[in-house]
Structure 1
Amino acid sequence: MTTLTTAQAVVSMLEVNGIDTIFCLPGVQNDPFFDALYDRTNAIKPIHARHEQACAYMALGYAMATGSPSAYVVVPGPGFLNTTAALSTAYAANAPVLALTGQIQQAMIGRNLGLLHELPDQLAIMRGLTKWADRITSPAAAPGLVNEAFRRLLSGRRRPVALECAMDTWARKAPVELISTPANADPCPVDEDAVERAAKLLGSAQNPMIVVGGGALDAGEHIARIAEMLDAPVMTGRMGQGVIDGRHRLSVTMPAGYLFWGEADVVLAVGTRLQPQQQNWGLDDKLKIIRVDIDGEELDRQRRPEIGIIGDAAATMKALADRLGEHASKPNGRAEHVAEIKGRANKAVRDKLAPQVAYLEAIRKALPEDGILVDELTQMGYVARLAWPTYKPRTFLSTGYQGTLGWGYATSLGVKVARPDTPVVSINGDGGFMFTAMEMATAAQHGIGVVAVVFSDGAYGNVKRIQQQSFNNRTIASDLRNPDFVKLGESFGLHAERVKSPEELSTAISRGIARGGPVLIDCPVGELPDPWSIVQVPRNRPAKS
């Protein structure tokens, strides 16, 4: 045992569990924590931001880019509350983020005395936004609680966790027994019987289809094997882009997936909520669904599947691919049909959304195969879900169902910190970019070389279009007055420039990547075609009787 402060014990356990960067904004309730961190900055680098939301967004980006746990630390009360949009996005995107916050004095918690940064029940808010949260109440309790936090981050469905610690508890000293080994994930054995039943059902299918989500990001090799054995199209939802290479002949995005859903007899759904398909596209008795998910509660949330398998996607898909050879000895001859449907759907997207596709193709041309695109709630981001060619896992990052406007730029900074040798491009609208534009100061201070593109149209474009189309052009609160983005970027010390075409954009991104430092590119655009007619489609199967 060693006599340590609670803060020293926590910092030691963060290091044991592989945290090499912590995103932070200091404050009085966490002063002892940062004093303890000062002695360990050779192992854990602090990246401080200009707003607490950016600390959490950067931790989110780090976790999404690596698939490994990340951490941020902020003061309690308004500091913590400023991070909750990012925390809820981490929950939606299944990202393993540790939220570490201070608290008021331990004896004062819950007494409603009106102390600085006091909330009625901060821990209850944490528990509502994470899979697990707790309070550190003593130095001796710290090692076990930190390891428990990481065990939960690594086990089952990846979602954020949180720990809080009172300001006087941080500095309290006591004998502490540190844990020398990092936390491990709980075992998740393969359900061999269910895998065998799934192999038989898939082997007998006439029109099989595979749908993958973010839970399948590490299973791509085995999913590609299964798809090739069956000639089955693989629909990659926005969180599953890159599970298999977007150039693969069987890889399709949502528009083609919608067409295949209407004719499928067996669907293999891996690591996906399958929400739009089941709720919007429709179900019937002719469709049999096999669901693979590490979260058992997810399997029958909307409809009980024909076969439900609780398990790790990579291990389960490897077992399924190995078994499938006994039941599907040769492809079913659908390769030409799949190619025809895929080509027809891709053409419809290109014809309908040509301006956005042209810009996305320009960005793709400038990014290497492993380059990372961080999307936004913007016209380019919406179309990227349908038309961006993603080649590798964790290279197209999106908010999932949370749809968090303004997340993109700050999140991309965390992505770049995690992957410093990989080009990272953040695409933004002028509305969303201004949510975290002050973090250009963070990029400049820490040398975070993200290339940020702002597609500026002087409006919350999606809101304005809906008002024009659905409310007789009664536009309200949707026009924006923007700064000169080039001058704004330069004032923060970024290289900034303005482009006027897809070709100029591609060249500017290539220059920005070559420069290595933070870059801002302003790309003014006019009114863009509406993508929602492709996304909001009618049911193509009757409701289940």
Structure 2
Amino acid sequence: MKMSGAQAIIEVLKREGVRHLFGVPGENFTPMMDALYDEPSIAFIVGRQEGGAAFMAEAYAGAGGGVGVVLGARAVGATNLSIGVHTAMENSTPMVVLLGQLDSRFRGREGFQEVDLDRMFAPLCKWSVEVSNAQRLPDILQRAFHLARSGRPGPVVVSLTEDALHDELQAHFSEPLAISRPRPSPDEVSGFVRRLAEARRPVIIAGAGVKRAGAEALLVQFAERCAIPVLAAWRRHDVFPNGHRLYCGHLQMGTHPALVDTLRQADMLIVIGARLNEITTQNYAAVSVGQRILQIDIDDRMLGKAYPIEQGIVADANQALEALLEHTFAVPSEGWAQSRRAVYEDVTRLIVEPHEDYVDNWQIIRELRAQLPDDAILTNDAGNFAGWMHTFFSFRQTNTYVGAASGAMGYGMPAALGVQLAHPDKTVVSLSGDGGLMMTIQELETAVRLKLPIIALVFNNNMYGSIRMHQEKAHPGRVIGSDLGNPDFVLLAQAFGAQGLRVTNDAAFANALRVALAASGPVLIEIVSDPQRISVRQTIDQIRQSGIRQ
């Protein structure tokens, strides 16, 4: 089959099941745009900045839309979208990144926007490669999709020279490869079962590996069979139903000390598809050398990376849990799990107390939980405002949260667009601070253009809140660089063609949310927040006084 390199790319995308291509076009991609014109099965979702488009693609894939595919032109477009590549790597999200590159005849001669893209992206992805020979395009791209999906999923970057897009080739395509799902050996399983029987206070830490394997239901069965409390790793809230009697909290930034104690008091950690990273382990302070660790991960590089472990199993989480459930377990005293659940319920209890004179974020989260359907999907940006959601929102179903483990600012609202495209029938709500939202606010036009009914909440305290908090802790009263000015968010939303609402007290939020849920297009709700209320447990003055006393 004879075709151009650009046509071969579109054919690969079609064969790999791609339905949405995200990006910002560049002039060197015009052959590919022309080939895409003739392929109605693939929608081109044009963003207003490559970083926002990459966030959309990552969230689309993270929400179950398949492999996220994003397009960026040459060096400037590529550097813009690199934040999304980093996020996909941190999130273990399958993504294929197509980057424009100058004509191969001009490489190494200071050509316009020349950057060694494959070398630049190598530390940020699973594989990066440059293709200058059109004949190699089909097999390299199909390998890129396989690598993005397989093992620990992640991003793959393909740099495409301009001549490779124009040149003709005799194309041959293969069927997409099946993904390998490794299963633990009988000896590994028996060793795991034997060691688990010796634990008296075991805790499961569940992460992205469980979600990517679709193993949430099996995790519930395993936890119930063994009566083991479950902690969700950083930004993996929906890995286990939060209302379940064995769910004991989310290991986030600023986790309540009583919840951290569940981790500290455990005599055995069963780590399933989770990295024991800085945030999950509370700055590596909540896990001690004396604790026994059993770890299951599909990526052998994760085993023992942060702490010495007693046993490591390289396996798909679904396969590992299936194998374990074939055995009978000695169940520890249920009093351990019951006591830790009681602690969780105590520190996350929300009291109904709407206020007419100010915004209390507890009440905002309570109202979200009351009005949103159980299958609504939340995305969020980085910032202190997220602490209330991380602590108090109860995720009752699987695949109802999409967040950036990288902590990228600007993620929340573009991510909601990607999620909405993956699930057009679901309610999708993003939570952002004013600092993060302003980094990608232009993608609100994309939501308007595509008629996506996202609900974008912006908690506006006119500052980079998390930076301010850390300043006050380390240098009380010496504030620099964290105060912000903002536009009128309601008028700005309206200027983009969206509906804009503002609430200055939490009692008014209930009606604003009802209006947003009934809308057919995007709605932005500005929540005017008191700058003093900087975190879930402390005000700025309290942090400052504590720092001064030290």
TM-score scaled by length of structure 1: 0.91
State the alpha-carbon separation in 2 of the partners of residues 337 and 464 from structure 1.
36
Compute the displacement of 1:430 (Å): 0.8
Contact 1:455–1:525 under 8 Å retained in 2:
yes
SS of 2:163's equivalent in the other structure is: helix
Among candidates 169, 182, 197, match of residue 191 of structure 2: 197
Compute the displacement of 1:349 (Å): 12
State the alpha-carbon separation in 2 of the partners of residues 252 and 382 from structure 1.
17
Contact 2:209–2:272 under 8 Å retained in 1:
yes
Contact 2:276–2:306 under 8 Å retained in 1:
no
CA separation of 1:349 and 1:529: change in aligned 2, threshold 3 A? farther
Contact 2:47–2:446 under 8 Å retained in 1:
yes
SS of 1:99's equivalent in the other structure is: strand
Compute the displacement of 1:331 (Å): 5.9
CA separation of 1:8 and 1:176: change in aligned 2, threshold 3 A? same
Compute the displacement of 1:53 (Å): 1.0
Compute the displacement of 1:207 (Å): 1.1
- Code of the residue aligned with 1:223 in structure 2: it is L
1:433-458 Cα deviation digits (max 9, x unpaired):
10011111111111122100111111
Tell me, yes or no, if structure 1 residue 235 matches structure 2 residue 231: yes
Contact 1:100–1:164 under 8 Å retained in 2:
yes
**1:23-62 equivalent positions in 2, closer than 5 A:** 23-40=22-39, 42-62=40-60
Higher relative contact order (CA 8 A, sep 6+): 1
State the alpha-carbon separation in 1 of the partners of residues 81 and 94 from structure 2.
15
Contact 2:125–2:155 under 8 Å retained in 1:
yes
SS of 1:77's equivalent in the other structure is: helix
- Code of the residue aligned with 1:271 in structure 2: it is G
The residue aligned with 2:264 is 262
State the alpha-carbon separation in 2 of the partners of residues 230 and 263 from structure 1.
18
Contact 1:104–1:118 under 8 Å retained in 2:
yes
Aligned length: 522
The residue aligned with 2:468 is 464
State the alpha-carbon separation in 2 of the partners of residues 469 and 268 from structure 1.
34
1:45-96 Cα deviation digits (max 9, x unpaired):
0010111111111101101111621101111110100001111111111111
Tell me, yes or no, if structure 1 residue 183 matches structure 2 residue 177: yes
**1:152-301 equivalent positions in 2, closer than 5 A:** 152-179=147-174, 181-217=175-211, 218-253=214-249, 254=251, 255=256, 256-275=258-277, 276-277=280-281, 279-285=284-290, 287-301=291-305
State the alpha-carbon separation in 2 of the partners of residues 350 and 318 from structure 1.
42
Compute the displacement of 1:174 (Å): 2.1
1:161-220 Cα deviation digits (max 9, x unpaired):
0111111210111211122x2232234233332122112222332111111111112222
The residue aligned with 1:492 is 496
Contact 2:181–2:315 under 8 Å retained in 1:
no
State the alpha-carbon separation in 1 of the partners of residues 178 and 100 from structure 2.
26
Contact 2:360–2:505 under 8 Å retained in 1:
no
Contact 1:293–1:313 under 8 Å retained in 2:
yes
Q: Pairwise CA RMSD of aligned residues?
A: 2.2
SS of 1:437's equivalent in the other structure is: coil
State the alpha-carbon separation in 1 of the partners of residues 122 and 237 from structure 2.
30
State the alpha-carbon separation in 2 of the partners of residues 237 and 359 from structure 1.
24
- Code of the residue aligned with 1:277 in structure 2: it is T
Compute the displacement of 1:533 (Å): 7.6
Among candidates 485, 504, 507, match of residue 508 of structure 2: 504
The residue aligned with 2:338 is 336
Among candidates 77, 86, 89, match of residue 88 of structure 1: 86
State the alpha-carbon separation in 2 of the partners of residues 525 and 386 from structure 1.
18
Contact 2:129–2:159 under 8 Å retained in 1:
yes
**1:394-413 equivalent positions in 2, closer than 5 A:** 394-400=399-405, 402-413=406-417
The residue aligned with 1:135 is 130
Compute the displacement of 1:322 (Å): 2.2
Among candidates 81, 103, 118, match of residue 123 of structure 1: 118
Tell me, yes or no, if structure 1 residue 366 matches structure 2 residue 363: no
CA separation of 1:312 and 1:257: change in aligned 2, threshold 3 A? farther
Compute the displacement of 1:329 (Å): 6.0
Contact 2:132–2:163 under 8 Å retained in 1:
no
State the alpha-carbon separation in 2 of the partners of residues 521 and 208 from structure 1.
43
State the alpha-carbon separation in 2 of the partners of residues 507 and 203 from structure 1.
52
The residue aligned with 1:442 is 446
State the alpha-carbon separation in 2 of the partners of residues 349 and 509 from structure 1.
19
TM-score scaled by length of structure 2: 0.90
